[in-house]
Chains A and B, each alone.
Chain A
Amino acid sequence: MRSGWELIHRHLDEHLDQGVFITDPRLQIIYWNRWLEKHSGHQAAAAVGRNLLEMFPDLASRGKDLYYQKALAGQMVLLAHRFHQYLLQMPPDIANHHLVHMPQSAKIVPLMEEDQVIGTITIIDDVSERVVREEELQSHIKRLKKTEETLRRSEAYYRSLIENTSDIIMVIDEEGMICFTSPSVERVLGYFPGELNYLQVRELIHPEDLPKFNEVLQILIRNPDTIFSVEARFRGQDGSWHTLEAIGKILPGRREKPEVVINCRDITERQQAEKERLRIVKLESLGILAGGIAHDFNNILTGILGNLNLMVMEPSLQDADRVRLNEAEKACLRAQALAQRLLTFARGGAPVKRPTDISKLLKETANLTLCGTNIKCDFFVPEALWLVKVDEGQINQVINNLLINAQQAMPAGGSIAIRAENVVVEEDAELPLPLGKYIPLPKGEYVKIAVADQGEGISPEIGDKIFDPYFTTKPQGSGLGLATAYSIIKNHDGYITMEPNAGQGSVFYIYLPALKDAIPFPEEEAIEPLTGQGRILIMDDEGIVLEVLSEMLKRLGFEVASARDGGEAVEIYQDAQGNGQPFAAVILDLTVPGGLGGKETLDFLKEINPQVKVIVSSGYSDSPIMADYEKYGVQGVISKPYRLPELSKVIHEVITKKQN
């Protein structure tokens, strides 16, 4: 038996890769295998016979002696490394700076003889490799979790950016199928997020914009490192078109099956504002030109009209000649109206605004314009309509233009509806009109006028061009009617827009600032020429104006001295003051090319005589002096061309006016 026991010992020593030791019931070691000799440093010869708890006192201090009591009571004991770290203190078998003791898991088994426990068998496993591997794995998992958290935060951050951007982020594949749209698609185009997924992007794009979109997309697919930029109209959920500025590039990392990420910005309003700006710039440049022409034209007309006026007053004139001269005078008046239209372009075809009952103006203009035509006009105007502060002549011209357009749109006859109502525009109000979605009106009270016809209407494509100067669809049209209307309304701080309604007639809308509590300006009385006496100094660079004005003043009973520019006028005025023959009044041309103009001359005259009575005359009605002459110390103004009655009235008013 002894040889059998020794044989078992030898086999255990040779083959076991575990530590094994056996104790008797008093925990005296009776077997200590070679693995333990190697790892614990205790030789079997020294260990056998010793008490386990004396040999390893930390077993008791760490409470591990309890497990031997359990084993001696017949229980199987398992000691997991994670709970116990180690059973016997041994140096680690692998180089690892974390390990102080060899990590172990252990089993303590009761050694039974029949039903009696005669000792314990302890089996120790070195779990160093496993523990190090698991620690490395844990460390790896920690890093992964941290990376995962960083990615999650990063993803949440970018998601938040995408969800909150005002632009639409859209991803399409190379065929144009939509793979993703950011939630802002709802705000911009009205579609639910995800509603457009798997749809063809081309279905959203305006047919006219498709060729350029296809072209840039193909270029991008062929040259994946480039970026495309294209403006195209996209259909909104409600069918409206939104101009989007789309900037696209190939989504990185998707080269196998290219996807394009497109950033779409709604530039509809910006574009509308830009069109508005260009329209204004165009009008301004035309206005300068028109103003210059009107000025020269008015000077010429002053000469013609004044002379005609004087000739008509000749008592010796034959009746037949008088008729012809009257016709010529009428032609001059029509030319004056044309010049006035040109001046309206000039920034101040400046309206001379007065509180006006617009309903009366609308009715009078419509009745006059449509008289004798096959067009019926219906008015829908409330009694309590607010007054507006307008230049009656200019607004008359606007309404007249709209009515003529309406009449021409209905060659077979029909009816025009004119509506007016009080409206309050709130801040940043968007008015429900296709072309007027963006209306640059400050908040306030307005009178809204609508002129609707029953014609063919205007196609939406040309709808936004109709206010451009020289744009016309009529073979004989000048393209100035609606441009003039636009300019006039703009100068009144109002807004004009239209609803195309192609096929159902068009509707023009005008907004004019309202005066809630004002009373209408009294109507002008008829003017008769008034004679007078005294000396009057006139200054104008146009010889024909000087000549006819001089003759007209003489006809009214005045003595006249004339000057070609401001310098000469100042000289004459000074001499007259010195000679005791002062002038009762001075009529100054406002604009003298290359010489001293009216405003500068006025300053010199005031130095000579602060009480000087000055009338300013000009072919430009947009000068600040003409609009607000009293502020400049001028007693009166008269716009060229003028007739004798108007001239006499102004002179009479100025001469009889007492100085402040």
Chain B
Amino acid sequence: MIISSEQKDSLLELINIGFGRAAASLSELTGQRVLLNVPQIVLCPMQEIQDHLKDLMQGKVATVHQMFSGPVAGEAILLLDYGGAVLLSGLLSECRVPVDRLDQSDQEVLTEVGNILLNACLGTFGNLLDIHLSFSLPRMQVETLDPLLESFTIGSDSVRYALLILTTFSLRDSTVHGYLILVLALASLDLLVQSLERLG
């Protein structure tokens, strides 16, 4: 499936609205200015996602994974490389000595951040489509990238697409890059694109 550049612009605008809300929530929560930027989005079949990610992320990654269901169903994943996850957690936590590993509280922090981001983004989509989406509890995992990506494609007969959203967290003069990945079945994606058409 191919989306036009206008549709892509509309999608980007929509994501930015959601990210704006998420950034406001995070700023309020942490008491410091948090900025979220979306410099780039890519829409590709799930089979191609590895080609986009393998050069950008390697080895251990931290993910916050959430299922959503309703008229539009799929999976949402916040993907950070492990070092980025450690850095982000450290930046969001006051008065902590920087360490190079995630403890349980760090994972909890990242889960809440992921939850805020995913909810804001998917909530914006729900509002657009005027549908109600149900969410599972977000799940935080530290794993290697390849098995994670394979888990998206194995056991699924339907054609699924990935909306790959490059996400940049900026706070305390530091920047952490990550990805928000929305995995959607073709029907759900089609519904989303039609809604974008209506918006346009």
Contact = CB atoms under 8 A, between A and B. Distances in A.
Interface of A: 70, 74-83, 105, 107, 109, 112, 115, 127, 130-131, 134, 137-138, 141-142, 145
Interface in B92-109: 92-93, 96-97, 99, 103-105, 108-109
Given A76-B119, A80-B108, A142 B137 contact: no
Contact of B115 (A78, A105, A130): A78
Given A78-B111, A81-B108, A82-B108, A134 B103 contact: yes
Nearest to A139: B97
A131 B105 contact: yes
Contacts of B137: 76, 78, 107, 109
A604 to B, nearest CB: 95
A83 B112 contact: yes
Interface in B11-57: 29-30
Nearest to A123: B137
A487 B34 CA distance: 88
B60 interface: no
A137 B111 CA distance: 22
B152 interface: no
Contacts of A77: 115
Contact of B119 (A75, A82, A138): A75
B163 to A, nearest CB: 21
Nearest to B106: A82
B194 interface: no
Among A76, A79, A127, the most chain B Cβ lie within 10 Å of the Cβ of: A76
A80 B111 contact: yes
Interface in B122-176: 123, 132-138
Contacts of A81: 105, 108
A74 B108 contact: no
A107 B104 CA distance: 16
A79 B109 CA distance: 8
A105 B108 contact: yes
Contact of B134 (A74, A80, A127, A134): A74
A243 B97 CA distance: 53
Contacts of A142: 97
B109 A138 contact: no
B112 A78 contact: yes
Sorted from nearest, which 10 A-B pairs have the closest CB atoms? A80-B108, A80-B112, A78-B112, A78-B115, A141-B97, A80-B109, A76-B135, A82-B105, A142-B97, A82-B109
Given A78-B112, A81-B105, A83-B29, 6 more contacts: A74-B133, A74-B135, A78-B108, A78-B138, A115-B132, A127-B105
13 contacts: A74-B133, A78-B108, A79-B112, A81-B105, A82-B105, A82-B108, A109-B137, A115-B132, A130-B104, A131-B105, A138-B97, A142-B97, A145-B97
A81 B123 CA distance: 24
A63 to B, nearest CB: 8
Given A83-B109, A138-B96, A138-B97, A76 B115 contact: yes
A75 B138 contact: no
A83 B96 CA distance: 13
Contacts of B112: 78-80, 83
Nearest to A145: B97
Given A134-B103, A145-B97, A76 B108 contact: no
B186 to A, nearest CB: 24
Contacts of B123: 75
A471 B104 CA distance: 86
B103 A137 contact: yes
